[in-house]
């Protein structure tokens, strides 16, 4: 009855962390506590004033405690995004 992340494996995913960061990468692995292995990952920093900044991270393990949302990214839609023109408020951190 596992609601698994298996269908996201080897797909590009966007992870929202508890401190309000967005990290995009290829999901390589996960476990029961939702620790993730993300390959070719980069962080997207949004701001109200300038376009999106991308920080390249590489191969990352993100601990499940820190993960809020995992979104499956549609590569076509994603590549059509003009990141230098997107302005948005940064996300709030998770407050328990």
Partner 1 sequence: MRNIAIPYLIDCQVNRHNLILNFKIPLFYSFFKSLVGKDVVVELKNDLSICGTLHSVDQFLNIKLTEITVTDPDKYPHMSKNCFIRGSVVRYVQLPADECDTQLLQDAARKEAAQSKQ
Residue of the chain from 10, 18, 47, 58 that contacts partner 1 (CB under 8 A): 18
d(CA 35, CA 81): 28
Sign of CA dihedral 1, 95, 36, 54: positive
Residue of the chain from 9, 16, 45, 57 that contacts partner 1 (CB under 8 A): 16
With H, G, I as helix, E, B as strand and everything else as coil, classify residue 1. Answer: coil
Count of residues near partner 1 by CB under 8 A:
34
Residues in contact with partner 1 by CB under 8 A are 1-3, 5, 8, 14, 16, 18, 20, 22, 34, 46, 64-65, 67-74, 77-78, 81, 86, 88-89, 91-96
């Amino acid at each position: 009855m596992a609601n698994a992340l298996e269908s996201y494996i080897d797909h590009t995913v966007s992870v929202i962390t508890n401190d309000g960061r967005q990290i995009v990468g290829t999901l390589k692995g996960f476990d029961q506590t939702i620790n993730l292995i993300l390959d070719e990952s980069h962080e997207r920093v949004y701001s109200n004033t300038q376009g999106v900044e991308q920080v390249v991270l590489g191969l990352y393990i993100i601990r499940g405690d820190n993960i809020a949302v995992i979104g499956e990214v549609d590569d076509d839609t994603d590549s059509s995004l003009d990141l230098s023109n997107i302005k948005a408020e940064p996300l709030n951190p998770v407050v328990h």
